Amino acid sequence: MSAADFANPFLFHGFPMFFASDNWAGAHKSIAERLLTESTGFAAAYGAGDLDRKVEARFSEIFEREVSIFFVATGTAANSLSLASVQRPGGITFCHSEAHVIEDECGAPEFFSGAARLVAVDGEAGKIDPAKLSAKIASFPEDAVHHGRASAVTITQATEIGTVYSLPEIGEIAAISRQRNLPLHMDGARFANALVALGATPAEMTWKRGVDMLSFGGTKNGCWCAEAMVFFNPDQAREMPFIRKRAAQLFSKSRFIAAQFDAYFENGLWLDLARHSNGMADRLRAGIATSNSARLAWPTASNEVFAVVSKSAAKIAEEKGAKFYAWPIPAAMPELVSESETLIRLVTSFATTEADVDGFLKCLAA
Amino acid sequence: MSAADFANPFLFHGFPMFFASDNWAGAHKSIAERLLTESTGFAAAYGAGDLDRKVEARFSEIFEREVSIFFVATGTAANSLSLASVQRPGGITFCHSEAHVIEDECGAPEFFSGAARLVAVDGEAGKIDPAKLSAKIASFPEDAVHHGRASAVTITQATEIGTVYSLPEIGEIAAISRQRNLPLHMDGARFANALVALGATPAEMTWKRGVDMLSFGGTKNGCWCAEAMVFFNPDQAREMPFIRKRAAQLFSKSRFIAAQFDAYFENGLWLDLARHSNGMADRLRAGIATSNSARLAWPTASNEVFAVVSKSAAKIAEEKGAKFYAWPIPAAMPELVSESETLIRLVTSFATTEADVDGFLKCLAA
Amino acid sequence: MSAADFANPFLFHGFPMFFASDNWAGAHKSIAERLLTESTGFAAAYGAGDLDRKVEARFSEIFEREVSIFFVATGTAANSLSLASVQRPGGITFCHSEAHVIEDECGAPEFFSGAARLVAVDGEAGKIDPAKLSAKIASFPEDAVHHGRASAVTITQATEIGTVYSLPEIGEIAAISRQRNLPLHMDGARFANALVALGATPAEMTWKRGVDMLSFGGTKNGCWCAEAMVFFNPDQAREMPFIRKRAAQLFSKSRFIAAQFDAYFENGLWLDLARHSNGMADRLRAGIATSNSARLAWPTASNEVFAVVSKSAAKIAEEKGAKFYAWPIPAAMPELVSESETLIRLVTSFATTEADVDGFLKCLAA
Amino acid sequence: MSAADFANPFLFHGFPMFFASDNWAGAHKSIAERLLTESTGFAAAYGAGDLDRKVEARFSEIFEREVSIFFVATGTAANSLSLASVQRPGGITFCHSEAHVIEDECGAPEFFSGAARLVAVDGEAGKIDPAKLSAKIASFPEDAVHHGRASAVTITQATEIGTVYSLPEIGEIAAISRQRNLPLHMDGARFANALVALGATPAEMTWKRGVDMLSFGGTKNGCWCAEAMVFFNPDQAREMPFIRKRAAQLFSKSRFIAAQFDAYFENGLWLDLARHSNGMADRLRAGIATSNSARLAWPTASNEVFAVVSKSAAKIAEEKGAKFYAWPIPAAMPELVSESETLIRLVTSFATTEADVDGFLKCLAA
């Protein structure tokens, strides 16, 4: 491919190559259309309408048991309020050291929990190391009033760095949590991507492996704004209506969330979108694996790809309009990147096309 | 009108008569369509996109000065975070005794403000009495550490009971607030309804009369979910990005709010919708004023009507499918309602039709 | 008595006439001496020492059942943390409209409770009116998520205006609280004064009448700093060690509180001090009742006296060195005070002498 | 020394050997006597009395500039409220990874700060490494709303592990803090011990080196309960009266704190007590340095000594009545302790005697 190729507008026009984040995409057409259809008519506000009921029942079907569902505005809200609902005074929540809750939520989990602290646990591949979790929990004896009190564990599925906990890995974290009666929360901002990566059912990836609460994200996978807290034991959600309202997260026209989920679940759309998104990441991974100017930084299994790219290739891609973020070098991998390279994150979405991927790969090959 | 008339499905079919609340309506077609149009393409997340910028600029035009805009998920969030941004330790916010912030937000304004207290001030017609406000503020001397500290004043426009502060009334409240340097906040959940009721401009009804912060509500007037905080002095909003993010109110796909506002403002749609809604309330008021089985409980000027209705008429209306809420008898008007009567609230919206109103009035005439 | 008499330094020298508050006194000699005695030797910190254990056992004896005891630094802390321990999200605590928790604690009860709101209930003589309490609680239906949620009731014994709930009155408040499962807290900043005024036992004035939690104050009655939370059901105090530590209220040298309580309880010193204090108030009341320049504003039964005094007599008293506070005219008694009069509060303490009282009464007689 | 020696009650009777913590001691005689002297008479409550004023002025003299002083009940309160006073929404406070604020205060610093987070910075000898501090601060860019916002830095002097920041070291931390306008707080729970260890003046060890706020502890050094917040720029303390009152930390009989400080400062008692305490630690260090069954774990300079002791010697000491705590092996020194050894902490106080020290050293020599 010659420099002239890059100047050819035909080649790149229409290839947005937006890999900055899956939340740079808009909404899937079916979901936006459903909002249009639903916009007429009247319905009880604040989650009391028929469509809210229908979607709640749909969640119970999907998870193969009766669950309690609470819509909220953001993934940060879902994480924060879930964790808040199980906190105790002086509480401690254990999370991975790179988790979204501790890195990217501006203290919201602590704010909503009466200042319960997040304690970071290390682990390879973005996943909590079970032995380190055990040791960290043990450093907070039950009655040590000065240290604070172990109160919850949270994992992210898929993780912040594109990896996925296997079902046994989830079970192992859950078993450790259970020993101290710590509720286990899953941040599922990319739940569907992890699910199709594992080929598991929603039940298998959650309560059947010991997860108590789930932040179920739809926004990153094709909705405009659709996040739900899922409680697998409805008894544990009794305080939540008040926690949510006090947190200013109770929508008046709640059915605008319900309508999105209704379309999202219809005919398995949500899984199709995740499969597409993961497939586009596969295509990226395959292309990068064979590239001369880039290599995969570590294996990933969902819709995120981390690549070490030559600075010159990265520059070309940016000039051609590709959008992506540079990523900090992990403390555990100081040798990952040479002087002439850079570490970048590429995220695919329901809206990513083969042309986007191929356009980006062409930049690497330039 | 005979009993047979009520059995006639033709008469009532298609007359939803939903007067429970303006948030029982869905979204205006233009707004839902805009969400569909906007759903394609990519844009920077978290409010950094072009459409966000465009809508922010539109707000500045509408208010005739540079303003700072922050989208949030609910009116409760807009009120709570606005007030939180000006609180001081031990802070006190003065509000009307029937205000939404103190009656219907489950403590959210206090929660987000480090437990700043709401202190109720009485006043007729749902409006803060200026003399009582002065006296109440005076009961919190500046350095009286035990009592807490006057920190803000909030008014609701239109009020919870359908009345509207006149421009001089707003100015009077603002003047009192200024004497103690208390920021003045306006809860504008029904801002547009008040605006067209007064025939004022947005600037006149706010900063030109001394309002510092506004909760600008679009949801009740035809949006799915569109609430914004407006700061008339951008310097005072410097902490807000962090307050909002910590409150889990920063949308990733922020443009789904921006798109709604964009359509809402286009060609004055927002004012048209409010005029329609107020007009439907006028029609209700006119009908009730001449009814034998109902009368207006007090004068209102926006899209809310409060009526004292004979219990038998209310029963007929409910049987015919009308939706409305019984309203508690105001403490100041114990004689308002006789044994055989009930006090009800009727709220019109952009989606209310003349047929709805006339259907309801027919019930009263039965 | 002539003007010359007032100029006679002999008459007033040594009559401090300090009636501003019982916390203007220092500490009783026995208590200060015990602190000196205890100052030698070593003991486990943070409440784990033998003396802490001894005093806790003493509390159980005094209250005739096993209680859980937590020392804190201030009465505000005792009230706030007790109420915090029973709050739920969106919680509401009902208190009298003139209670210390709502008037004089700068929002601390809300701050420690995750912003739970205090709702004022009126009632004559500084005491919650049971019918009004019932009505106010009823205005917060159990599942009304918008309004907040009834969570606790608190009464003050003796009240802020010197009155005392009778045992049946306490029982009546408790019965109403029990109907909604609301824990009943008693602010006992002047517990001993109320106790001797009623001639009741500690058990009779608390748990036997349905009180669940008590702020037991020693500071106003002769200690330097001795406040304790008393939980009559230790199971309900399980979170308190963490609530207290997180609130920065766990003393390292906890025995300096224990030592004060140890001396306070020895040989019934605490009751003797309260009897003395109440007796000095009786003496004041008797003198004022026969005064030409003053009268009792309302009947009181503890160590607080409220008097309507001619402004000229008040001025003389102040010139002679008497210390007392003017008191705001109660809203319910607008006619209480004429133009030429003023309402004052007089508080006696363990350190008040007959000479102080008589000196003050002489001022009134001048 | 033979086993018979240990059975000799003469040898150990009267040698309490209490090295568990300096807060296991009581109060110095002069301080307890001052409380007795001060117990008579009346004084304005809540810190408005003459003695409060006198002590505040004394603080200004000691620190060679006008300072603002606020008494509180505990060191945890002093740390938490100081840091709360400078927090911003989403705030981050940087502290050493072993600091008291993050290890032993049950989340109080976060609780009082609206959930501002503590971020640990490593460093040898219990002291923040300046380069690591710079790097950590840099990881929170000023406007990165997702990460939270650098808001304060706190150091402990003397540190938790008995070391002392030199004056240049304090200045270096301050310079880094200043670059981002982060207020620098010093936890001075053992301020006097550090001061005499350095031979510095109070001014030199604080504001002259860039410290903005100090938690000045008296409790561990001979008071019953005397902790004060010191603000070197009184303007920065304007919110503190309300922060403290809302935190339930405003004592009514504030002069009981003032009296302790008054005696504490008289004739340099506070420095004498710290010198004695440090001297006893020197004696311990000297003895351990020459012991066959123990060695110093690391150099310390205040009243704390960390020793690696043979398990047999530790057992003998415990059997003889010595009180001390085992200490966790520092992560950075995994090889510190062999199988047959244990790491212990020994803390001396104003009340430690040479006999205590020598008795303990005899145990090691047994």
pLDDT (tens digit per residue) in D125-163: 999 999 999 999 999 998 889 999 999 999 999 999 999
Closest by Cα among D76, D162, D154 to D126: D162
Flag whether pLDDT at C16 surpasses 70: no
If pLDDT is split at 50, 70 and 90, which confidence band does C45 have? very high
Place of tokens 């499918």: B321
- The per-residue pLDDT for C6 is 39
For an interface test with C, the pick among D19, D21, D23, D260 (most C C-beta atoms closer than 10 Å) comes out as D23
If pLDDT is split at 50, 70 and 90, which confidence band does A22 have? very high
Residues C101-125 have a mean pLDDT of: 96
Residues D250-266 have a mean pLDDT of: 98
More confident residue, C316 or D1: C316
Flag whether pLDDT at B13 surpasses 70: no
CA distance C139 to D68: 46
CA-based nearest distance D90→chain B, Å: 6
Flag whether pLDDT at A172 surpasses 60: yes
Flag whether pLDDT at D11 surpasses 80: no
CA distance C351 to D188: 37
Residues of B in contact with A247 (CB under 8 A): 108, 111, 247-248
CA-based nearest distance B243→chain D, Å: 6
- The per-residue pLDDT for B282 is 98
Query: What number of other Cβ atoms are within 10 A of residue A329's Cβ?
Result: 15
The segment(s) of chain C belonging to CATH 3.90.1150.10 are 3-26+270-365
Q: What are the pLDDT digits (tens) for D89-102?
A: 999 999 999 999 99
Instruction: Look at A44 and B24 and tell me if their CB atoms are within 8 Å.
Output: yes
- The per-residue pLDDT for A143 is 86
B14-23, B148-157, B297-306: the lowest-pLDDT one: B14-23
If pLDDT is split at 50, 70 and 90, which confidence band does C73 have? very high
Closest by Cα among B349, B330, B364 to B161: B330
Q: How far is CA C39 from CA C101, C255, D24, D223, D251, in A?
A: 34, 9, 11, 9, 21
Strand partners, B323: B18
If pLDDT is split at 50, 70 and 90, which confidence band does B85 have? very high
Q: Considering chain B, what is the average pLDDT of its residues?
A: 94
Which among B16, B44, B74 has CB closest to A248? B74
Residues of D in contact with A111 (CB under 8 A): 114-115
Q: Considering chain C, what is the average pLDDT of its residues?
A: 94
| Class of CATH domain B29-269 | alpha beta
For an interface test with B, the pick among A103, A106, A118 (most B C-beta atoms closer than 10 Å) comes out as A106
CA-based nearest distance C148→chain A, Å: 7
Residues of B in contact with C145 (CB under 8 A): 106
Residues of C in contact with B115 (CB under 8 A): 107, 110-111, 113-115
Instruction: Look at B146 and C114 and tell me if their CB atoms are within 8 Å.
Output: no
CA distance C198 to C82: 25
If pLDDT is split at 50, 70 and 90, which confidence band does B16 have? low
If pLDDT is split at 50, 70 and 90, which confidence band does B10 have? very low
Closest CA in chain B for residue D112: B114
If pLDDT is split at 50, 70 and 90, which confidence band does A1 have? very low
For an interface test with C, the pick among B81, B98, B100, B106 (most C C-beta atoms closer than 10 Å) comes out as B106
Instruction: Look at D105 and A145 and tell me if their CB atoms are within 8 Å.
Output: no
- The per-residue pLDDT for C332 is 85
Instruction: Look at A105 and D145 and tell me if their CB atoms are within 8 Å.
Output: no
Query: What number of other Cβ atoms are within 10 A of residue C7's Cβ?
Result: 9
Place of tokens 């005093």: C55
Residues D56-72 have a mean pLDDT of: 98
Strand partners, B276: none
Q: Where are the alpha helices (DSSP H) in D180-310?
A: 191-198, 240-246, 255-265, 269-289
Q: What are the pLDDT digits (tens) for B38-73?
A: 999 999 999 999 999 999 999 999 999 999 999 999
Cβ C303 vs Cβ C22: under 8 Å:
yes
Q: Give chain B's contact residues with C (Cβ, < 8 Å).
A: 89-91, 103-107, 110-111, 113-118, 145-149
CA-based nearest distance C135→chain D, Å: 30
Closest CA in chain C for residue A84: C89
Closest CA in chain C for residue A251: C146
Instruction: Look at A148 and D116 and tell me if their CB atoms are within 8 Å.
Output: no
- The per-residue pLDDT for D366 is 74
CA distance D51 to D44: 10
- The per-residue pLDDT for D17 is 82
If pLDDT is split at 50, 70 and 90, which confidence band does B258 have? very high
Residues of C in contact with B117 (CB under 8 A): 107, 110, 117-118
Q: What are the pLDDT digits (tens) for B169-218?
A: 999 999 999 999 999 999 999 999 999 999 999 999 999 999 999 999 99
Q: What is the DSSP letter of A324?
A: -
Judging by DSSP bridges, how do beta strands C117-121 and C91-96 pair with one another? parallel
Percent of chain A clearing pLDDT 90 (strictly above): 91
Which among D149, D241, D243 has CB closest to B242? D149
Cβ A284 vs Cβ A297: under 8 Å:
no
Compute the radius of gyration of chain D from its Cα atoms.
Answer: 21
If pLDDT is split at 50, 70 and 90, which confidence band does A336 have? very high
Residues D64-88 have a mean pLDDT of: 97
CA distance B150 to B130: 16
Helix %, strand %, coil % of chain A (to 5):
45, 15, 40
CATH fold of C29-267? Aspartate Aminotransferase; domain 2 (3.40.640)
Q: What are the pLDDT digits (tens) for C222-276?
A: 999 999 999 999 999 999 999 999 999 999 999 999 999 999 999 999 999 999 9
CA distance D135 to B190: 49
Contacts of D among chains (3+ CB pairs under 8 A): A, B, C
Which among B89, B107, B148 has CB closest to C117? B107
Percent of chain D clearing pLDDT 90 (strictly above): 91
Which among A28, A74, A351 has CB closest to B248? A74
Size (chain C), residues: 366
On whether the D29-268 domain is CATH 3.40.50.150, my answer is no
- The per-residue pLDDT for C97 is 96
Q: What is the DSSP letter of D134?
A: H
CA distance A275 to A268: 11
- The per-residue pLDDT for D72 is 98
Q: What are the pLDDT digits (tens) for A117-141?
A: 999 999 999 999 999 999 999 999 9
Q: What are the pLDDT digits (tens) for B138-152?
A: 999 988 899 999 999
Flag whether pLDDT at B18 surpasses 80: yes
Tokens of D104: 């032993």
- The per-residue pLDDT for B15 is 52
Closest CA in chain C for residue B98: C147
Q: What is the ipTM of this complex?
A: 0.94
CA-based nearest distance A90→chain D, Å: 5
Residues A303-324 have a mean pLDDT of: 94
- Three-state DSSP at C215 gives strand
Instruction: Look at B42 and A112 and tell me if their CB atoms are within 8 Å.
Output: no
| Class of CATH domain D3-26+270-365 | alpha beta
Q: How far is CA A78 from CA A73, A185, A244, D94, in A?
A: 8, 10, 9, 28
Flag whether pLDDT at D1 surpasses 50: no
Percent of chain C clearing pLDDT 70 (strictly above): 96
If pLDDT is split at 50, 70 and 90, which confidence band does B256 have? very high
- The per-residue pLDDT for A17 is 82
- The per-residue pLDDT for D309 is 96
Q: What are the pLDDT digits (tens) for A231-266?
A: 999 999 999 999 999 999 999 999 999 999 999 999
- The per-residue pLDDT for C160 is 95
CA-based nearest distance C160→chain B, Å: 14
pTM for this model (two decimals): 0.95
- Three-state DSSP at B68 gives strand
Flag whether pLDDT at C366 surpasses 90: no
Q: What are the pLDDT digits (tens) for A2-14?
A: 333 333 333 343 4
CATH of domain A3-26+272-365: 3.90.1150.10
Instruction: Look at B252 and A72 and tell me if their CB atoms are within 8 Å.
Output: no
Q: How far is CA B89 from CA A196, B25, D232, in A?
A: 49, 40, 21
- The per-residue pLDDT for D143 is 86
Cβ C89 vs Cβ C248: under 8 Å:
no
Helix (H) or strand (E) holding B203: none
The segment(s) of chain C belonging to CATH 3.40.640.10 are 29-267
- The per-residue pLDDT for C11 is 37
Residues of D in contact with B250 (CB under 8 A): 145
- The per-residue pLDDT for A15 is 52
Instruction: Look at C40 and D21 and tell me if their CB atoms are within 8 Å.
Output: no
Q: What are the pLDDT digits (tens) for B91-134?
A: 999 999 999 999 999 999 999 999 999 999 999 999 999 999 99
Query: What number of other Cβ atoms are within 10 A of residue B1's Cβ?
Result: 10
- The per-residue pLDDT for A304 is 97
Contacts of B among chains (3+ CB pairs under 8 A): A, C, D
Flag whether pLDDT at C280 surpasses 60: yes
